[in-house]
Amino acid sequence: MNLYQQVYILRIEIVLLNSKKAKKVIQPKIGKKTWTLNNTLLCVAGLIILPICSFATFRFLSSSSTSSSVSSLFTSQNTSAHETSIPWIDNPSECQYTDRSWHDNKCWDEQHSPTF
């Protein structure tokens, strides 16, 4: 008997042994109750706690005290432009070349979006 035949026979034996063990595990034990008092109480507690935790999580995420990025998922934000200074532009000619305004010795961009 060569090595390949031995490996093949060994694989067959492993499959047969595993199938016998699997049948024992799959078959329900006769006379054992599935719904005991502990299982029932655990399921009821889970069904009560799940909606409470879901509601609390939603309220936390939608509250105004959280960061704006999280609250923006649930509320619409005002997307109007806000004026902001551009720190890397330091002379009026370059500022006007980029279609921005120069005042208070700063270059101001009037098209800045807060969601940028």
Query: In angstroms, how far is CA 57 from the centroid of its own chain?
Result: 13
- Give the CB-side neighbour count of residue 106, counting CA atoms within 13 A: 9
Give the length of the chain. 116
d(CA 63, CA 67): 9
Report pLDDT digits (tens) over 57-85: 888 888 755 455 555 555 555 556 677 88
Phi first, then psi: give them for residue 84, nearest 5 degrees. Answer: -145, 150
**What DSSP element (H or E) covers 4?**
helix 3-26
DSSP state at residue 41: H
Provide the residue-wise pLDDT of the chain in tens; the chain has 116 residues: 677 777 777 677 777 666 655 555 555 666 677 778 888 999 999 999 999 999 998 888 887 554 555 555 555 555 566 778 888 888 899 988 888 889 888 998 887 666 55
Q: What is this structure's pTM?
A: 0.32
